[in-house]
Structure 1
């Protein structure tokens, strides 16, 4: 479908797709000759490798005699000549990209709950926070710190503060050591959040139930809190899917059913079946048209209204 649009046989109506097609057309004009070809999915990596090798060979060409050109460097992602002061070099591998492309790359990875790594294909080097301060906003830096913290704590060690105004992520070992230094190591004593210092039950994962055992508390409170009930109802009504590995809730705003959770677990949004080696283990369709053309339908509705007056997780 996308190839048909790029070849000009079918106009792109969705805003994001139209922007992509326009960007590809602009890039095509930079070449002396360009002939688009539809590549099979299993040949995609080979095609990308050829493309990257060609780009690198062009960007590493001998420097021009002009002093102006010598101050510029071609970003191998956007193919734009950029002032070298605006080029970012990854600390470990020294792969180089412009600030604009790096910012977009990091934003997408953080949005998907992942720790950003070098954009170069096959490179596993993680980006350092201090180095990324050159092109990231303070809010993105804070999000990146949170993602690195989440990734540093194993799933079996993660624990969250039960107080809604805090909800700090901690490791069980961290909580036990912090509480032991303050109140002792007895199982019956409350544990303390390292951030808000609120007392909570390590076994029940709820605010501290003073004067009663865990068994008594669970017997007197058999039903989940009202907030949890509301969340479960909202998730069911909105058709949200919960990751079976980390229990994170995911909402499909638009796109295909292949989900990649922030914990890196891949599954089918429609039925929850796991994806293995980038392949589905279920027979569900890859997408539904209303999810792919969501913006088109909305644009059509807006146009109809104008006749009278005017995801991803």
Structure 2
């Protein structure tokens, strides 16, 4: 099957033609490809797979939070920097950077395993993150490295 170009989107009198109106004239594979092309062309700031050998359009429904998952090769792409999935807040995510600054001001810590921001309200300094990473809230090291031997505060 050939690839589509923007000029391939059908219109009549300057209005886009709904593919359902012509569905009986085309094969199902063409209609599916046309709908995907239409979605790609009408999506503001579309996201494409970061795998150089793929570069497929990532449909908006495949974007969860800051990461889009390619339906062609399953590679995950950051919606901010457009590179492969990475830990922590993307440097291109301005709102995320504001959260990181707030965390710094409030004294919150990042999990050394996944870079998720963690706030300690009470209890011991041995933290277990949602990702399963265990670390010392005082020194920030993985808990297996610290084991409570750092110069601990309360």
TM-score, structure 1 normalization: 0.24
More helix by share: 1
The structure with the larger Rg is 1
TM-score, structure 2 normalization: 0.45
